[in-house]
Amino acid sequence: MRMSKSFLVSIIFLTAFTTPASAQELPAEFTFRGSGYGHGVGMSQMGARSMALAGKSSTEILQYFYKDVLVEPLDDLKILRVNIGHLLSSTKISTKTPGAIVQLFSGDIGSQVDAVPIAVFSAGASLNLSILGSSVVPNVLIDKKSNAFAKNRSFTIRWSGTRYLEGVDALISVTQLGATRKYRYGQMVVKAVKDKTLGFRLELTNAVRLSDEYLWGVSEMPSFWPIAALQAQAVASRSYALSKAGIYRANCDCDLYGEISDQKFLGYAKEIELKFGAIWKSVVTETAGLVVTQASLPIAAYYFSSSGGKTELSVNAWGSTRAFTQIVDDPGSLDITLNPRFVTWDRTLSQAVVARAFLLPDVVQLEILTRNESGTIGQIRATSSSGLQFTLRGETFRSRTKIPSAYCDLVGVQN
């Protein structure tokens, strides 16, 4: 999970060098060595695993990583609009469930019960949706015969076995960008939304109930981990989603993205995961309604994979203070048995990647200017051959270059 995009705005400083460095040779690569994976804010998942193995409860884990919070029941029956297809030019929806029914409605009909579908199809047929100008164009393929329908700005898809339509429990396949995922619950809306760069594109959302339909499909922690860690993850995921529920984002036609910019939502694939899917579903049920709160409100319970030994403050990572974030020791992330891939890592970045991160034509020098109490890079500065300098937060640099974490040092420059 990453911080939501509204908080990823960097603070960048541009200054001019008085003496150009154009005579310097451009380094081909920059090498970093570090620990941990992720932004470091909130609950360390590796730390939660370690604490669970040591016998700590989910509540103890949550109250360790989040400052001055309670774990208490709140209403989590809200319907979430989860984006499952972003900036698409086309998508295909179908079912192979015998006896299943799929309905297509013109427009975004919400929870309307008396709407009349413009098309109805069953197993073996497929609904193809594409973008044309500022409209969505639907086409239903039945027995190899194409059935075109009038375009509109949005369409709603419902299927049997949901609260919207009685009948056989259908499993819906959504194919986009060469990949197919399966969904069991809710209803879907496809809408034409204008992107600043690409123009109009399709946004596909799945409207699901937070308490179960959504959480059953969240895939942010391996389901074979200790139960207390899974319980902590379920409560954190519920809290994060509840803090975002009802806050509409026009650019995705959603409350939440179904990717790690919010939380990874796999849909039915998580629920039917071999051997362990039932465990995650059971954990969600066992923790029903439990939410991490501060001042009686759900917190945006950020979490991440592992740290360099201490967690991070949101203000250090993103420049935005969140009272429930704090710096605490995280020894579980440095346990080589639990975290063999990220206790220590090395990454080499090309000249092009580093220059792009700083929005410079090239970089002749990198300098780590400050460090945070957590051990992350506070600010890192790049100097170009023309003498321009840009300074980024360590977390912004991590995000742009895709290195595992900002718990790192610059250890090598190769010309």
Q: Is the pLDDT of residue 328 over 70?
A: yes
pLDDT tier for residue 414 given thresholds of 50, 70 and 90: confident
96-107 tens-digit pLDDT: 999 999 999 999
pLDDT tier for residue 156 given thresholds of 50, 70 and 90: very high
Q: Is the pLDDT of residue 333 over 70?
A: yes
Q: What is the pLDDT of residue 373?
A: 98
Q: How far apart are CA 402 and CA 38, in angstroms?
A: 10
Q: What is the pLDDT of residue 18?
A: 39
224-279 tens-digit pLDDT: 999 999 999 999 999 999 999 999 999 999 999 999 999 999 999 999 988 899 99
Q: Do 348 and 31 contact (CB within 8 A), yes or no?
A: yes
Report the DSSP pairing between strands 303-304 and 43-44. parallel
Q: How far apart are CA 2 and CA 318, in angstroms?
A: 11
Q: What is the pLDDT of residue 38?
A: 98
Q: What is the pLDDT of residue 321?
A: 97
- By three-state DSSP, how is residue 129 classified? strand
If you average pLDDT over residues 62-89, what whole number do you get?
97
Q: Is the pLDDT of residue 9 over 80?
A: no
Q: What is the pLDDT of residue 24?
A: 67
> Percent of the chain, pLDDT > 90?
91
pLDDT tier for residue 17 given thresholds of 50, 70 and 90: very low
Q: What is the pLDDT of residue 144?
A: 87
β-bridge mates for residue 106, sequence order = 155
Q: What is the pLDDT of residue 257?
A: 98
Q: What is the pLDDT of residue 19?
A: 44
Q: What is the pLDDT of residue 44?
A: 98
Q: Is the pLDDT of residue 54 over 50?
A: yes
pLDDT tier for residue 2 given thresholds of 50, 70 and 90: low
Q: Do 275 and 189 contact (CB within 8 A), yes or no?
A: no
Q: What is the dihedral of CA 29, 35, 36, 41, to 10 degrees?
A: -100
> Percent of the chain, pLDDT > 70?
94
* Angle at the Cα of 280 from the Cα atoms of 221 and 160, rounded to 5 degrees: 120
Q: What is the pLDDT of residue 412?
A: 82
pLDDT tier for residue 25 given thresholds of 50, 70 and 90: confident
Q: What are phi and psi of 48, to 5 degrees?
A: -65, -40
CB atoms within 10 A of CB 296: 8
Q: Which of 336, 318, 341, 327 is nearest to 404 (CA)?
A: 341
Q: Is the pLDDT of residue 139 over 50?
A: yes
**pLDDT, averaged across the chain:** 94
Q: What is the pLDDT of residue 275?
A: 86
